[in-house]
Amino acid sequence: MDKALVERVIEICTRAGEAILEVYNSSAELEVDTKADDSPVTAADLAAHAVLAPALAQLIDGVPVLSEEQEMPPFAERSQWQRYWIVDPLDGTKEFIRRTGEFTVNVALIDNGEPVLGVVHVPVLNITYAGAKGGAGSGESIAFKRDAQGDQQIGARPLQPRLDAGEAVELVASRSHGAGAVDQLVERIEADLGAVACKNMGSSLKLCLVAEGAADLYPRLAPTCEWDTAAAQAVVEAAGGIVVDDQFQLLRYNRKDSLLNPFFYVIGDPSYNWRDLLTN
């Protein structure tokens, strides 16, 4: 994957993050509207979209942009797309409204249903996670985290050495969704593997923690949309992890009319036999 392309996407996401922060740091009262699906939308969502959509459309000739904050093309049109950008201008709008700082700008490049490049930018922290997959003729995969100290290569971590050392399985989960099902899963993991340490947070940051080796598992047992996950999935998989659905198939995109994802698991160590534990 072309590192120069990754850098251009990071620059665009950073500008979108600056547009978000203008709203976030404003003294004006935040106005929240509700979309047709009852999800919230703010001026920050729209400001980020206004930066991202035209800039991404110019990056690669003929590659369209699919953003949460635009009218959705019908599947008959989308199904013809080999490659496209998928964008969540502000992932974690509820966290934005609560002012937790746990919200992100998400951009991914999808190629034949697979997220092959992803950038997740965290405006409040000015941290960016980026990943791009290697492939035939495209070199090795790259995955890194950029902060005030510069770039650090990241990688998902193996699980067995932690289990051998008696360390807890570290799990991340949504602060807002699916808590009951996750609690039941934690009980199963504890019965099989021992202690589980669970951390709750919002947005696609949860996937990024797995990608950088700060967590072992993120179970998502509640609804999400494709733009919520694509960018961070690219980072996770470039870092050596996987994202699989509840049938343990790799999560793929633009395969159906609905943009809803199935329930899924973000796994840091694909060599560990998670399937038996998670699908029983």
- Per cent of the chain over pLDDT 70 is 95
- Please tell me whether 101 is known to bind a ligand: no
- Please tell me whether 183 is known to bind a ligand: no
- pLDDT at res. 190: 94
Q: CB within 8 A of 218, min separation 6: which ones?
A: 171, 172, 173, 206, 207, 209, 210, 265, 266
Question: Is the model's pLDDT at 210 over the cut of 80?
Answer: yes
- Please tell me whether 93 is known to bind a ligand: yes
Q: How confident is the model at residue 198 (pLDDT cuts 50, 70, 90)?
A: very high
pLDDT in tens, 109-120: 999 999 999 999
- pLDDT at res. 138: 61
**Closest C-alpha among 96, 148, 145 to residue 119:** 145
For 265, the 3-state DSSP assignment is strand
- pLDDT at res. 56: 98
Q: How confident is the model at residue 137 (pLDDT cuts 50, 70, 90)?
A: low
Q: How confident is the model at residue 32 (pLDDT cuts 50, 70, 90)?
A: confident
- pLDDT at res. 33: 82
Question: Is the model's pLDDT at 272 over the cut of 70?
Answer: yes
Question: Tokens 């746990």 map to which residue?
Answer: 102
Question: Tokens 């534990």 map to which residue?
Answer: 277
- Please tell me whether 92 is known to bind a ligand: yes
CA geometry: angle 275, 179, 98, nearest 5 deg: 130
- Please tell me whether 45 is known to bind a ligand: no
Domains of the chain in start order, with CATH, are 3-153 (3.30.540.10), 160-279 (3.40.190.80)
- Please tell me whether 90 is known to bind a ligand: yes
Lowest mean pLDDT among 32-36, 180-184, 241-245: 32-36
- Please tell me whether 139 is known to bind a ligand: no
pLDDT in tens, 71-122: 999 999 999 999 999 999 999 988 898 889 999 999 999 999 999 999 999 9
